[in-house]
Amino acid sequence: MRIGIGYDVHPITRERKLFLGGIEIPSEFGLYGHSDADVLIHAISDAILGAVGLPDIGHFFPNTPEYKGISSCVILEEVKKKIDKEYIIVNIDSVVIAERPKIGPYIDMMKEKLSSILGISPRSIGIKATTNEKLGFIGREEGIVAIAVVLIDERRT
């Protein structure tokens, strides 16, 4: 068994839609990034890659024109393909840190979306939401952070 951890942060911008966990969250702002800036999927993807000792998503999906605006769901699908022959994902636990919007009402939808991409049960995915108690750049609503931990196991043949 192997464990990986992932972290991602993106600044808030008024010019984009907000994507978290592969779904669009209604909000008056989104996140700035080369892709769709889905911090939750980026953290999960990095955790998966780290668990198997591979480089982070920036290595595989650099800030080049070919990946401009790429859906983070595509990134996660490609990350899963990289480990699929040797490993299975046992479970994921994650936290999104943001002052707003409130994402609690969307967690089940995010879990369904992620489980469909990863081929695991929604019950094997934990997503929590918290604020930063108005402290720092998150508290000032300048960005959103996600942290994820993934447990994987060798695929038994």
Q: Are 138 and 145 in contact (CB under 8 A)?
A: yes
Number of domains in the chain: 1
pLDDT of residue 118: 98
Considering only residues 157 and 85, tell me which one the structure prediction assigns the higher pLDDT: 85
Q: Are 124 and 92 in contact (CB under 8 A)?
A: yes
pTM comes to 0.97
Q: 10 Å Cβ neighbour count for 96?
A: 21
pLDDT tens for 94-149 read 999 999 999 999 999 999 999 999 999 999 999 999 999 999 999 999 999 999 99
CA–CA dist 36, 131 (Å, integer): 22
Q: Which domain CATH number covers 145?
A: 3.30.1330.50
Which domain range does residue 128 map to? Answer: 2-154
CB-side neighbour CA atoms (13 Å) of 6? 33
Tokens representing 75 are 């990134």
pLDDT of residue 156: 85
Cα 6 from chain centre: 8
pLDDT tens for 60-106 read 999 999 999 999 999 999 999 999 999 999 999 999 999 999 999 99
pLDDT of residue 66: 93
